[in-house]
Amino acid sequence: MSEEYVRKAAELLKMGATLLPDTCPMCNVPLIRFRGDVFCPKCGRKIILVRGDREAVAARAPIALADVEENIIAKILDVNARLASMEDLDDIKKAGEVMNILLKTLSLVRKLRTE
């Protein structure tokens, strides 16, 4: 273990953190639980511990939906920027249809995230 993250882990343990038997899937360092969160003291990643495949899928779903939402928003911004410079009515109509689909999809994703 490198001295820096060992020192960080030691400080957290002094503050009441718990060293877990599980290791980080990225860097294989023992995980720490502190104030309800589990994370790797070396890479800083927050870790969600699961007991089986069903829990793994349930844990990944919100993350996947957040990624989808982020991508849709990026596409909306892209279409909006292109729309600002369009003058041809057919192009504007096509961009409007794409924007409508993106906004409906964004609404659906946000609804799924709150369920």
DSSP-based three-state secondary structure for 109: helix
Integer Cα distance of 94 and 89 in angstroms: 9
Q: What is the pLDDT of residues 11-24, one digit of tens each?
A: 989 999 999 998 88
Tokens of 84: 């600002």
The pLDDT, as a whole number, for residue 44 is 85
The pLDDT, as a whole number, for residue 24 is 86
Residue 33, CA atoms < 13 Å, CB-side half-sphere? 8
82 pLDDT tier (thresholds 50, 70, 90): very high
Integer Cα distance of 110 and 52 in angstroms: 27
Average pLDDT of 57-62? 80
